[in-house]
Amino acid sequence: MRGAYTLFLLLCGSTCLLASVIPKEEILGAVRDFQQSGHAADAGLDFTHQASLDEHGRFHLLWKFDSETITFEAHVQTTGYIGLGFSPNGGMTGSDVIIGWVKDGQAFITDRFAEGYFEPRLDAHQDVELLSGYENGTHTVLRFRRKLRPCDTAEDREITEDTQRVIWSFNDLDPLENSLAGQNGPHVLYHGSNRGSKSIILLQKNPPTLDIQDSNILSFELTSSNVLVPEKDTTYWCNTMRLPRLDRKHHIVKIEPIIQPGHESLVHHAVVYQCKLGQVPPMLDGGHECYHPNMPEEWGNCNSIMTAWAIGGKGFTYPNYVGFPIGSDDDPDYIMMEMHYDNPDRISGQRDSSGLRFYYTPIVRMYDAGILDIGVNSYATHVIPPRAESFDSTGFCFGLDPYLQELGSPIKVFASMPHAHLAGTAVRTKLVRNGVFQSYVGRDETYDFDLQEIRLLDPEVMVQEGDQLITECTYKTTDRTQATIGGLSSREEMCINFIQYYPRMKLTRCYSGLDINQQAPFFGVYYAGWEYPFPIYYPDSMVNQTLIDVINQHPWTNEEAERFEQYVRNTQVFSYTVPEVNDYQLIDQPADPTMPNDNSVSIPGC
C-alpha cells in the first residue's frame, strides 16, 4: 500500500496532503481507481516544474519546456471543467485561456480568449494540442501543449522568461452542449469562487541539485531575534553576527529563507553584508534600526553584499562549479543582516524571528562567486511623476573597468535578481559593447513586486573591460497624485539588479545617481538645496517653496511624463561605487545603444 500511496502523492502533489479537503477513504479509493485506469505510465513524473496555484492545493500544475513549446499537466480536484489562462495583469480581460474537461472517458480542450469578465470565446485558431486526459474519481488530469511564441499573436499570449500572471478556474460540471454553443463552443458555466491568479516564472532554469544530507554539507542560520517590529509603514532592522569559526576556506552553496509563519507579507527582503576585514563591529542584543542616528557608526563599514533575498523568493542553489567564499584569511568574520519590514497597516505588537539559512562545504569549488548591485542610487533625487502610464529610469555602472583590470579577466554572470517596489512594472539590464546591445543580464518586462526570485541565466553572460551595464526600470503611477521618490519604503522606489557572477572581484555596488539641480530647470527652478524636500533658492520668486511642492503641482499627463523622462535622460549623473572611488563629478549619460529589430525574427512553423 505504501508504494501506491507514494505514487499518488507524486502525481497530485500537495492536493493529496489536505486530509481536511479530501477524506482518507476518498484518497485510498482514488489510488485504486488510478491503478486500475491504465494511466500509471502517464504519471507526469517527467515534468521539471510544478506549482500549486491555489492555497488549498486543489489546482496543481506541472510543466516542462524546450526552445519552442511548453507542455502542461493540470491535476485539479474536480470532475468538471478546468480553466488555465495567461493574463496581462491577473484579471480576465485580455487573457489567453485554455478550457478542458473529460466526459464519458473522452478528453476535450479548447483555446479561447477573454474579452471581459464573461465566458471566453473560442479563438479563430485552435493552437493548443491535447495530449491526454482522464478522471480518477476525485481529480481531472489534462496534459496539453502549446507554442511559446504562438502564430495567433492577436489572441494567444507569448510565454517568455518574464513573470507570467497565471489565472485558473474550475467547476464541478462539464460545459454544456446546447443552444448556447456557437462562437463560444460548448457553454462554460460560471466558476463561482473556484478561481484565482498566481505569478509564476514558467521558463525558469532548474536549479542545480544539492544533497543537503551529504556529510560534507554543513549549515548555519542568521535570524532576527524576536524583533519587535515598529508600528510604522517601513522599518529596516540591522543586526551584526559572527560567521562560523572555520580553519580554512569553505564555500556557501545554497541559501534559503526562514520566514516566520504568518509573516510572509511583513518580511519584504533581507540583505546580508560582510563587514570590513579585521573589524569586530559592536554587537547589540536584538539589533538596531538601520540608517538611524543612533545606529553604531562602525556598522556603516559593513557594506560588501554577501547575499540578498526578497519577497516571493524560494532561495538559491549555486551552480556546482561556483560557491561564495567564507573562512579564509581574506574573508571577514562578521556580517550585518538588514531586514526590511513592510507594515503599511502599522500593526503593533508583531515580533519576528525570520532570517536565512546557509549551506556550506569544505569542498571548495572551482570559482569564487561575487554579487554586484547595479542600477540607480536610491536617493530622493530619483523622481518619478504621478499619473504616468509608463515612465522609465536608467542607471549606469561607470566604475566597472578598474576592477576588471585588477581582476585580470572578464566575469561571467550566472544569475540575477531584479528589484523595484510597488510602482515597478519592468526591470532590465542591458550589456552594451561598443555602443551595440549584446544581451540582457536579467530582464522582466512584467515584474511583480510580490515575486522576486533569483533567476539563473541561460546562457551565462560574459562581461569584459569596456562593456557597459545599463539598468532600466519602468514604472506605472496612474493611481498616484504625488511624485514618487527613490528611497527605502515600498511606497518609494528603487531600480536595482543584484547580479551574481564569477570569478569574484572587489566591486560590490555600481550605481549612477541623479542630481536634483539637473532636473530642476524642467520646472523653472535653477537652484535648490540637496536635502529633501529640496528648498528652492533661485529664482527669488520661488524661495518660499520646495522643489517637491512644485513637482506635485505640475500639470502631469502621460505626455508631460514622457517629456520629463527624455529631459532626465539627457542630464548628467553621478557615479557611485563600493568600495568608494567616487569623486562626485557629473558625467554625461551614454547614448542609447543600437538594438536588434525583434520584428525581423520569424516565428517557427507559422
Mean pLDDT of 196-225: 93
| Interatomic CA distance for residues 517 and 574, integer angstroms | 12
Query: Whole-angstrom Cα distance, residue 155 to residue 123?
Result: 7
Q: Which residue has the higher pLDDT, 10 or 284?
A: 284
Model pLDDT, residue 408 = 97
- Please tell me the number of Cα atoms within 13 Å of 391 on its side-chain side: 30
* Mean pLDDT of the 28-47 span: 47
Residue predicted with more confidence, 580 or 156: 156
Cα 454 to chain centroid distance, Å, stands at 7
Half-sphere exposure of 583 (CA within 13 A, CB side): 5
- Annotated active-site residue 236? The verdict is yes
Taking alpha carbons only, the member of 58, 74, 61 closest to residue 21 is 58
pLDDT band at 581 (very low <50, low <70, confident <90, very high): low
State pLDDT tens for residues 85-113: 999 999 999 999 999 999 999 999 999 99
What is the DSSP-derived secondary structure letter of residue 546?
B
- Could you give the CA distance from residue 566 to residue 6 in angstroms, rounded to a whole number? 59
Task: Give the mean pLDDT of 313-322.
Answer: 94
pLDDT at 154: 78
By CB atoms closer than 10 A (0-12, 13-18, 19+), residue 577 is buried
Q: To which H or E segment does residue 400 belong?
A: helix 400-407
- Interstrand relation of 367-368 and 322-326 (parallel, antiparallel or unpaired): parallel
pLDDT(160) > 70: yes
pLDDT score at 33: 42
Across residues 287-306, what is the average pLDDT?
91
Q: Pick the catalytic residue: 60, 75, 340, 419?
A: 419
Q: Has residue 594 got a pLDDT over 90?
A: yes
pLDDT of 149 above 80: yes
The answer on pLDDT for 547 being more than 80 is yes
Predicted local confidence at residue 279, as pLDDT = 83
Helix, strand or coil for residue 239? strand
CA angle 486, 491, 497 (to 5 degrees): 55
Question: Contact at 8 Å (CB) between 284 and 294?
Answer: no
For Cα atoms 484, 485, 486, give the angle at the middle one, nearest 5 degrees: 135
585, 518 in Cβ contact below 8 A? no
391 has pLDDT over 90: yes
State the average pLDDT over residues 250-258: 97
Q: Is the pLDDT of residue 19 over 60?
A: no
Mean pLDDT of all residues in 204-231:
93
Q: Is 263 a catalytic residue?
A: no
pTM for the model stands at 0.87
User: At a CB cut-off of 8 Å and minimum separation 6, what does 519 contact?
Assistant: 381, 383, 567, 568, 571
Task: Examine the pLDDT at 22 and tell me if it is beyond 70.
Answer: no
**Mean per-residue pLDDT, 26-36:** 38
Tens-place pLDDT, residues 472-495: 999 999 999 999 999 989 999 999
- Residue 30: its pLDDT value, please? 39
- Residue 375, sorted as left (phi over 0), alpha (psi -120 to 50) or beta, turns out to be left
The yes-or-no verdict on residue 24 having pLDDT over 50 is no
The 3-state secondary structure of 100-117 reads EEEECCEEEEEEEEECCC
User: Which whole number is the average pLDDT over 287-308?
Assistant: 91
8 Å CB contact between 432 and 438: yes
Alpha helices in 498-584 (DSSP H): 516-519, 547-553, 558-569
The answer on pLDDT for 454 being more than 50 is yes
Dihedral of the CA atoms 309, 311, 312, 318 (nearest 10)? Answer: 0
pLDDT of residue 32: 38
Q: Is the pLDDT of residue 200 over 70?
A: yes
Q: Give the pLDDT of residue 177.
A: 75
Q: How far is CA 423 from the centre of its chain?
A: 14
Q: Between 57 and 38, whose confidence is greater?
A: 57
Contacts of 384 (CB under 8 A, 6+ apart): 391, 393, 423, 475, 477, 483, 484, 485, 493
**Rounded CA gap, 417 and 499, in Å?**
6
Active-site hit among 75, 81, 134, 236: 236
**Interacting residues of 198 by C-beta distance below 8 A, sequence separation 6+:** 51, 53, 54, 165, 166, 168
For the record, the C-alpha cell of 357 comes out as 539559512
User: Measuring CA to CA, which residue among 365, 446, 396 is closest to residue 164?
Assistant: 446
Mean pLDDT of 52-68: 94
Answer yes or no: are the C-beta atoms of 548 and 535 closer than 8 Å. Answer: no
Lowest mean per-residue pLDDT among 273-287, 448-462, 488-502, 592-606: 592-606
DSSP-derived secondary structure letter, 524: T
Residue 287 has a pLDDT of 92
**pLDDT category of residue 422 using cuts at 50, 70 and 90:** very high
Band the pLDDT of 362: cuts 50, 70, 90.
very high
In this prediction, residue 442 has a pLDDT band, given cuts at 50, 70 and 90, of very high
* Residues 238/337, Cβ–Cβ less than 8 Å: yes
**What was the pLDDT predicted at 598?**
65
Q: What amino acid is encoded at 343 in this protein?
A: N
Letter string b/e over residues 312-343, b meaning 16 or more CB atoms within 10 A of that residue's CB = bbebbbbbeebbbbbbeeebbbbbbbbbbbbb
On average, the pLDDT of the chain sits at 89
Q: What is the mean predicted confidence (pLDDT) over 6-11?
A: 35
